[in-house]
């Protein structure tokens, strides 16, 4: 039998960030188990977008703290993660959406975020490659941006290892050993590890892991598809997104365009297939808004999963009825961008019992016993 202090389940960006922040705070004896390879889950399949323009204060605060940390990522971790602050341009296509955007901007400015509201004329002047014909207004935050999720995931893992974290890839956590209200050990492909604390950072498998602990989570996983085109000269700085038209698109540093949309008909569950229907629909929609896409070839198309919570906000904090199990799950399609702040906050919670940078007390499971406010800005 091996002993550990904290056993982290999941080697995506969340587990890696928690591991790094815990180790940096001086925690010894941390182990991280990943059933596949690092960045093989949603993290390595995501769009890499990093934005602070949310409709709920909790998400704005977490995202603003994350952006502060992304800005210092290279300095702090010594890894260039292709981080670029080219802004996010959010397009409103109807009166109701435009009104919501204006309300969001008011709240975001109260939180100290620099966001502009742009008229269609201003959009066309500043971003001439966007067909803004039926757009009512847009909001633009210049400090939003994007990064390379693989590199960020590897950076956290690499640094965590340097600080003493033992990372076991291709090692599944198969069961959790519970005694009264505590998890006392983890059964893995490599045998049994006793532990003092467990972190559930298992992404799309969050519910399955919660069940191993004899508890439950209100999370559900849905496939999301995404594609990338051949590269062209780099000209598009912001990530452009619409919630009512259901799309996001950005140009990578390499010149390719990455784009995705949600599918309201998607059934819950793990499904890595891709469909021609996705390519047809997104191509038809986006060539009308971004005429320069016409004729560009699609070079790759893949899928990953959103682990959804009932209010599309993450679930961070203690499990129900298990004292030493912490969840960092239910990221609802925005876990990459929140990972720096979440890793830091959860590490602080575990070590000190409270956070010192962002208050995450509203993100626990207790909120589902009250009436919740759903995050609206999700594709």
CB 348 within 8 A of CB 323: no
Closest distance to ligand FAD from the beta carbon of 144 (Å): 11
Closer to ligand FAD by Cβ: residue 74 or 270: 270
- Which region, judged by CB under 6 A, interacts with ligand FAD, from 12-20, 70-78, 113-121, 178-186? 12-20
- For 198-264, the DSSP string reads EEE--GGGHHHHHHHTT-----EEEEEEEEEEPP------SEEEETTTTEEEEE-TTS-EEEEE--T
CB 299 within 8 A of CB 228: yes
Closest distance to ligand FAD from the beta carbon of 209 (Å): 6
47 in contact with ligand FAD (CB under 6 A): yes
CB 21 within 8 A of CB 344: yes
Interface residue with ligand FAD, options 58, 87, 185, 203 (CB under 6 A) = 203
Closer to ligand FAD by Cβ: residue 98 or 311: 311
- Token match 């180790």: residue? 23
45 in contact with ligand FAD (CB under 6 A): yes
CB 351 within 8 A of CB 22: yes
Residues in the chain: 379
35 in contact with ligand FAD (CB under 6 A): yes
147: which 2 tokens? 């990064």
Closest distance to ligand FAD from the beta carbon of 99 (Å): 25
All residues at 6 or more sequence positions from 264 whose CB lies less than 8 Å from its CB, including other chains: none
Which residues is 329 bridged to in the sheet? 315
Closest distance to ligand FAD from the beta carbon of 29 (Å): 18
Interface residue with ligand FAD, options 4, 6, 8, 15 (CB under 6 A) = 15
Provide the mask over 217-256, with x wherever binding to ligand FAD is found by CB under 6 A and - wherever it is not: -------x-x------------------------------
Closest distance to ligand FAD from the beta carbon of 304 (Å): 3
- Which region, judged by CB under 6 A, interacts with ligand FAD, from 87-95, 133-141, 203-211, 261-269? 203-211
Continuous segment of H or E residues that includes residue 49: strand 49-50
Closer to ligand FAD by Cβ: residue 207 or 367: 207
CB 307 within 8 A of CB 42: yes
**Helices 335-352 and 57-71, packing angle to 10 deg:** 90
66: which 2 tokens? 């994350």
202 in contact with ligand FAD (CB under 6 A): yes
Closest distance to ligand FAD from the beta carbon of 128 (Å): 24
- Which region, judged by CB under 6 A, interacts with ligand FAD, from 74-82, 102-110, 195-203, 228-236? 195-203
All residues at 6 or more sequence positions from 236 whose CB lies less than 8 Å from its CB, including other chains: 86, 127, 129, 250, 251, 257
133-192 binders of ligand FAD (CB under 6 A): 172-173
281-340 binders of ligand FAD (CB under 6 A): 304-306, 331, 333-337
- Which region, judged by CB under 6 A, interacts with ligand FAD, from 20-28, 39-47, 265-273, 360-368? 39-47
Interface residue with ligand FAD, options 6, 7, 8, 14 (CB under 6 A) = 14
209 in contact with ligand FAD (CB under 6 A): yes
Strand-strand pairing, 322-329 and 197-200: parallel
Q: How many residues bind ligand FAD (CB under 6 A)?
A: 40
83 in contact with ligand FAD (CB under 6 A): no
d(CA 244, CA 224): 17
What residues make contact with ligand FAD under the rule CB under 6 A? 9-15, 33-36, 40-43, 45-49, 172-173, 201-205, 209, 224, 226, 260, 304-306, 331, 333-337
């Amino acid at each position: 039998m091996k002993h550990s202090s904290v056993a982290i389940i999941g080697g995506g960006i969340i587990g890696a960030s928690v591991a790094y922040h815990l180790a940096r705070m001086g925690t010894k004896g941390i182990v991280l188990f990943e059933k596949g390879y690092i960045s093989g889950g949603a993290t390595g399949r995501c769009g890499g977008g990093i934005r602070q323009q949310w409709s709920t204060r909790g998400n704005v605060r977490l995202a603003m703290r994350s952006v502060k940390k992304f800005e210092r990522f290279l300095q702090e971790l010594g890894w260039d993660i292709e981080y670029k602050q080219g802004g996010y341009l959010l397009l409103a296509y109807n009166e109701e959406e435009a009104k919501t955007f204006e309300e969001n901007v008011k709240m975001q400015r109260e939180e100290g975020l620099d966001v502009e509201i742009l008229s269609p004329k201003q959009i066309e002047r500043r971003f001439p490659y966007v067909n803004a014909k039926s757009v009512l207004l847009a909001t633009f935050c210049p400090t939003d941006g994007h990064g390379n999720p693989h590199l960020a995931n590897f950076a956290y893992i690499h640094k965590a290892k340097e600080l003493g974290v033992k990372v076991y890839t291709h090692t599944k956590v198969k069961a959790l050993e519970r005694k009264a209200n505590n998890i006392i050990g983890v059964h893995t492909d490599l045998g049994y590890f006793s532990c003092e604390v467990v972190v559930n950072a298992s992404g799309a498998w969050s519910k399955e892991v919660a069940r191993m602990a004899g508890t439950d989570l209100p999370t559900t996983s849905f496939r999301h598809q995404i594609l990338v085109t051949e590269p062209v000269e780099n000209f598009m700085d912001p990530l452009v997104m619409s919630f009512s038209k259901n799309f996001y698109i950005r140009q990578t540093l390499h010149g390719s365009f990455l784009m995705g949309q949600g599918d309201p008909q998607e059934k819950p569950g793990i499904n890595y297939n891709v469909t021609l229907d996705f390519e047809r629909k997104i191509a038809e929609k986006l060539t009308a808004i971004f005429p320069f896409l016409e004729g560009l070839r699609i070079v790759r198309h893949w899928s990953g999963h959103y682990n959804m919570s009932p209010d599309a906000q993450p679930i961070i904090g203690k499990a129900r009825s298990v004292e030493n199990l912490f969840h960092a799950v239910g990221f609802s399609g925005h876990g990459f961008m929140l990972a720096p702040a979440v890793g830091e906050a959860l590490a602080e919670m575990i070590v000190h019992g409270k956070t010192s940078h962002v208050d995450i007390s509203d993100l626990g499971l207790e909120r589902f016993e009250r009436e919740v406010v759903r995050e609206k800005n999700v594709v």
